[in-house]
């Protein structure tokens, strides 16, 4: 027995010491002393953990510790690698997940995001084609890509736009506010062409200011030398022109506008065949209101009242052409004065016969509105021309 006593003694001392340490640890050592040995930095995922005060002892906290261990076991997150901090290899579902932050890395591999959530509803979009909204449905596209220079044109409410070639609506009115230069010549078949200009317009290198109103018939635009345009009467302008289509003994010509001066030109390509006179009267007046006097190679004659005409030329029998020019002062309130001259080829001679004279129409109430040419017993052949020119008002 003496031989084993030291060993027994050591065992008894160790037992007493261990028991004493456990008793002291359980009843007198605060739990915050053990924080160093507890793995409190691991987030195990349990939410029903009861907090143990730093002054609690193991003996007084047994029930709380057991309940915490049970909660930790029920709510544990199982991973294959305790050292992993970015992956949860065994995680299959997260039914409690409600929201997430912005995804800043990685590749999206989910299904197409629908239009109701701000997406296109498609994972493949037609290359270079214009997308079309479709309410809450998947987006559509404009048909085709069009051709070079085409425009995307509205089809109206409820109709997708289409590619069309640019064009100007010919029935619409446009207000051009910019400076446009047309470098290509073009033509038009329009029955009426209107040019509206406000103020000064440029015509080539000319800067012209147009009048604001139109003017009387037969007036023309005249430049004052500084680009200012105004309507004026030309020195002489054609009032009327006619050509006889058949032989006639009386040729009536109408005059419009009451020019202040009249120039009447009569040309007969084939002179009267018999000896007769070219005669004129105005406004159909055949009364004794005329007087005239002429002289020339064909003879001379004077008449103051009886003929109802002004005689201008005494013709001998010839087929040569004849030409007559009359100048008339056409004042309504004064006697109408007439100056005339004529030429006639006589037979085959190259020396023409010449007649000159003057006359009056005693009318102080009317402008000349027409005149008649008569040829005595002869007729004026077809092809004769009568031209009337006017000047002034």
Domains in the chain with CATH codes: 5-74 (no CATH), 200-232 (no CATH), 238-391 (2.60.120)
pTM reported for the whole predicted model: 0.47
Q: Cβ distance 229 to 209 under 8 Å?
A: yes
Q: Decide if 266 contacts 380 (C-beta within 8 A).
A: no
**Quick check: 326 and 358 in contact, CB under 8 A?**
no
pLDDT tens digit at each of 393 positions of the chain: 445 455 555 665 665 666 666 665 556 656 555 544 444 444 445 566 777 776 777 677 777 777 777 777 776 665 555 555 566 655 556 555 455 566 677 777 778 888 887 788 887 887 888 888 888 888 888 888 888 888 888 888 888 899 998 888 878 888 878 877 767 666 665 566 666 666 777 777 778 887 877 776 667 788 887 888 888 777 888 899 999 888 888 889 999 888 899 999 999 887 665 556 788 999 999 999 999 988 876 667 777 666 788 988 665 555 567 889 999 999 999 999 999 998 876 555 556 778 889 999 999 999 999 999 887 666 777 888 999 999 876
- Yes or no: say if 290 and 309 are a contact pair by the CB < 8 Å rule: yes
Contact 322, 375 (CB under 8 A): no
pLDDT of 126 reads 79
pLDDT at 240: 92
Confidence at residue 281, expressed as pLDDT on a 0 to 100 scale: 94
pLDDT at 364: 95
pLDDT value of residue 41: 41
Question: What was the pLDDT predicted at 53?
Answer: 75
Cα 181–185–188 angle (5° rounding)? 110
List beta partners, residue 153: 162
Rg (CA), the chain: 62
| Sign, CA torsion 193/197/203/208 | positive
Token pair belonging to 382: 């077809």
- In 10 A of CB 386, how many CB atoms? 21
How many C-beta neighbours within 10 Å does residue 226 have?
A: 8
**pLDDT value at residue 11:** 60
Nearest CA among 263, 272, 286 for reference residue 346:
272
Per-residue pLDDT at 257: 83
User: Which pLDDT score, from 0 to 100, does residue 130 have?
Assistant: 86
Q: What's the confidence (pLDDT) of residue 107?
A: 75
* Type and span of the H or E element at 18: helix 5-27
251's tokens: 């040729």
Angstrom distance (rounded) from CA 236 to CA 392: 8
Alpha-carbon distance of 358 to 354, in angstroms, equals 14
What pLDDT does 280 receive? 92
The predicted structure's pLDDT at residue 40: 45
Q: Collapse the DSSP code of 218 into the 3-class scheme (helix H, G, I; strand E, B; otherwise coil) and give the result.
A: coil
Residue 1 has a pLDDT of 46
Segment 22-46, tens digit of pLDDT:
665 556 656 555 544 444 444 445 5
Q: Which long-range contacts (CB under 8 A, 24 or more apart) does 108-111 make?
A: none
């Amino acid at each position: 027995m003496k031989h084993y006593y030291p060993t027994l003694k050591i065992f008894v001392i160790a037992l007493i010491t261990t028991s004493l340490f456990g008793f002291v640890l359980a009843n007198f050592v605060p739990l915050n002393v053990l924080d160093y040995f507890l793995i409190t930095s691991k987030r195990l995922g349990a939410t029903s953990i009861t907090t143990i005060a730093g002054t609690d002892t193991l003996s007084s906290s047994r029930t709380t510790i057991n309940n915490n261990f049970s909660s930790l076991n029920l709510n544990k997150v199982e991973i294959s690698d305790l050292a992993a901090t970015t992956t949860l290899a065994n995680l299959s579902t997260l039914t409690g997940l409600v929201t997430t932050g912005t995804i800043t890395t990685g590749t999206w591999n989910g299904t197409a995001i629908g239009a109701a959530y701000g997406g296109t509803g498609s994972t493949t979009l037609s290359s270079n084609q214009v997308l079309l909204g479709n309410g809450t449905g998947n987006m559509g596209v404009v048909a085709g890509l069009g051709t070079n220079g085409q425009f995307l044109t509205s089809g109206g409410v409820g109709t997708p736009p289409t590619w069309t070639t640019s064009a100007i609506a010919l029935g619409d009115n446009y207000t051009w506010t910019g400076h446009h230069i047309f470098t290509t010549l073009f033509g038009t078949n329009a029955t009426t062409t209107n040019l509206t200009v406000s103020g000064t317009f440029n015509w080539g290198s000319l800067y012209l200011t147009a009048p604001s109103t139109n003017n009387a018939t037969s007036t023309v635009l005249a430049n004052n030398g500084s680009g200012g345009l105004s309507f004026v009467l030309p020195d002489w302008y054609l009032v009327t022109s006619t050509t006889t289509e058949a032989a006639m003994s009386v040729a009536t010509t109408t005059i419009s506008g009451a020019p202040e001066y009249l120039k009447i030109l009569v040309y007969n390509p084939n002179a009267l065949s018999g000896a007769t006179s070219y005669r004129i009267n105005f406004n159909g007046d055949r009364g004794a209101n005329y007087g005239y006097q002429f002289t020339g190679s064909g003879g001379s004659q004077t008449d103051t009242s009886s003929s109802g005409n002004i005689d201008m030329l005494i013709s001998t029998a010839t087929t040569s052409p004849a030409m007559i020019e009359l100048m008339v002062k056409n004042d309504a309130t004064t006697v109408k004065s007439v100056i005339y001259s004529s030429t006639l080829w006589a037979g085959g001679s190259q020396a023409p016969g010449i007649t000159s004279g003057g006359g009056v129409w005693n009318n102080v109430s009317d402008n000349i509105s027409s005149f008649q040419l008569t040829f005595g017993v002869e007729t004026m052949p077809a092809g004769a021309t009568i031209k009337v020119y006017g000047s002034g008002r």
